[in-house]
């Protein structure tokens, strides 16, 4: 894909899980602690932010588990986290569409950036899973 530098192909799968896991931890902290305190500035209710924080925590646990205890084969685990990330992004969009009239510019900027990062990361994970799957054959 044109938006991935060539050097990204050289990263080890477990490091990709570390990147994903740390990003999910950062999202969980932002969604669970920081943004609820700024609820009027983002325009999303705290209960929605907390739900997304719980989901991000689950994704962090999955990714960090794969980092600390590497699986025997990488492709299924990479595909798993990639699809989970895409489902998380889709759920985020669905929840935000229901709150669109109240979403502020700050909230839109935050979620737009988060969704961009999540989708790019999922594409990177799917690409790596495909590459590793081909190299095993």
Q: Give, for all 137 residues of the chain, the pLDDT tens digit.
A: 555 556 556 688 989 999 999 999 999 999 999 999 999 999 999 999 999 999 999 999 999 999 999 998 999 999 999 999 999 999 999 999 988 889 999 999 999 999 999 999 999 999 999 988 876 65
83 near 137, Cβ under 8 Å? Answer: no
């Amino acid at each position: 894909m044109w938006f991935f530098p060539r050097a990204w192909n050289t990263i080890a799968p477990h490091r990709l899980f570390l990147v994903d896991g740390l990003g999910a931890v950062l999202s969980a902290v932002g969604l669970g602690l920081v943004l609820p305190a700024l609820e009027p500035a983002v325009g999303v209710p705290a209960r929605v932010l907390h739900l997304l924080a719980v989901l991000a925590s689950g994704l962090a646990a999955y990714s960090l588990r794969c980092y600390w205890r590497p699986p025997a084969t990488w492709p299924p685990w990479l595909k798993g986290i990639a699809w989970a990330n895409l489902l998380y992004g889709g759920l985020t969009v669905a929840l935000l569409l229901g709150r669109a009239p109240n979403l502020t510019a700050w909230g839109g900027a935050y979620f737009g950036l988060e969704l961009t990062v999540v989708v790019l990361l999922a594409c990177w994970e799917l690409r790596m899973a495909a590459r590793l799957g081909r190299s095993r054959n």
